Amino acid sequence: MPLLFIEVDNCHETAEKLAAKLEKCARFFRRTSKDTDGKERPMWRTCWTVPEHPYGDAPHPPVLLVFNRIGERNPNRTVPRLQELTRHLWQGERQRGGHHLYDRKIPIIAVALPNLREHGPAGPVFLRFGRDHLQPLLEAIGNPRFEAARARAAEEARTRAAAYQEQVRRAAQARAAKQAAERETRRPVCVDCGAKFTDERWKAAQATDWGTPEDSHPHLCDSCKQAATTAVASSVRQEPEHTEADPKKLRWRTQRPVCTQCGAAFTDERWEETERIAGWGEKDPRPTLCGDCNQRHETIWDDSWPGATRQEQEPGPGQEPAVPEQKTGWLSRLRR
């Protein structure tokens, strides 16, 4: 019990006189004074250290009326009359939850001395003004209905929070499922086998970061890309630049050339003929044609120039083209 004012009555005073004493107590509780920090506070708080009220309101300290029946007055008649006279001092404000708040009100409790002697402060012998049942002292001074209302409100808040979190979780799941479905509709499909790309393959095919090499087969899955790479590697002839045994085999192209006329791949012999360097052998005059097209071209040339030799048709390396002899006429005789 942090603070409790006690008024003992031997049943000699009337209810009006007791009400006047309680009015003096109320005036005393309303008095304010500056505390050591310079702020106005109730004067009774500067005299007694009392914690702040846990319910949010600021009631005055409780007053306990102890009736010792020695005089001729009956407490059972004095107490109801005293309640009516002091209602403005103790009556609280009813809230929606059914409880009351007692801001700047005085909790007034009455008890008979024989009952207090018999049951003690923990016994249900204390009557708080405004209530219709006896309670232990701490419950009579406290506000159990407000505590129950606070507990219900806290439980309802927890239930609402849990329901909201569940709603948020379901919305997040639905949004994630929708995004996953939309992403699946955008997932590429291999143009060769029709299989969907894995996440790793999709990321590699779309890589655009600096320093990342461009994918050679962005429309193929891993398996088909590997098969295509193997096929290309098998069709490409990888040879050293030259060998000591045959220095004429200098490969300036590592990929087998293709005829520009018929599209056929060069044979090994035709490939070596087109890659001879001047000085090691006669340079091929038509390096972009395969053997068949080159032979066909020579046949057409021979048919067009019957009886002509290769030396007449085409000059050799380091030779100038032959100039045909001009015919003599009267203009040439005049010049002579």
pLDDT value of position 281 = 53
pLDDT value of position 274 = 78
pLDDT value of position 149 = 80
Token readout for 14 is 């009337």
- Mean pLDDT by 10-residue block, N- to C-terminus, for the chain (336 residues)? 90 93 93 86 86 74 93 92 93 78 88 93 93 91 82 89 94 94 89 87 77 76 84 58 48 68 81 65 72 77 53 49 49 46
Instruction: Read off the amino acid at residue 246.
Output: D
Measured between alpha carbons, how far is 174 from 312 in angstroms, rounded to an integer?
85
* DSSP of 171-230: HHHHHHHHHHHHHHHH--B-TTT-PBPPHHHHHHHT--STTPPPPS-TTS-HHHHHHHHH
Phi, psi of 196 (to 5 degrees): -75, 145
pLDDT value of position 111 = 95
Instruction: Read off the amino acid at residue 261.
Output: Q
Measured between alpha carbons, how far is 250 from 15 in angstroms, rounded to an integer?
130
Please check whether residue 13 is in contact with residue 73, taking contact to mean a CB–CB distance below 8 angstroms.
yes
Closest CA to 60 of 42, 47, 39, 46: 42
* DSSP of 108-146: EEEEEHHHHHHH-TTSS-BEETT-SS-B-HHHHHS-HHH
Rg from Cα positions in the chain: 57
DSSP class of residue 10 equals -
pTM: 0.48
Instruction: Read off the amino acid at residue 32.
Output: T
Largest CA distance in the chain: 180
pLDDT value of position 250 = 47
Instruction: Give the number of other Cβ atoms within 10 Å of residue 22's Cβ.
Output: 21
Taking the chain, what is the end-to-end CA distance rounded to the nearest angstrom?
151
Measured between alpha carbons, how far is 204 from 218 in angstroms, rounded to an integer?
8
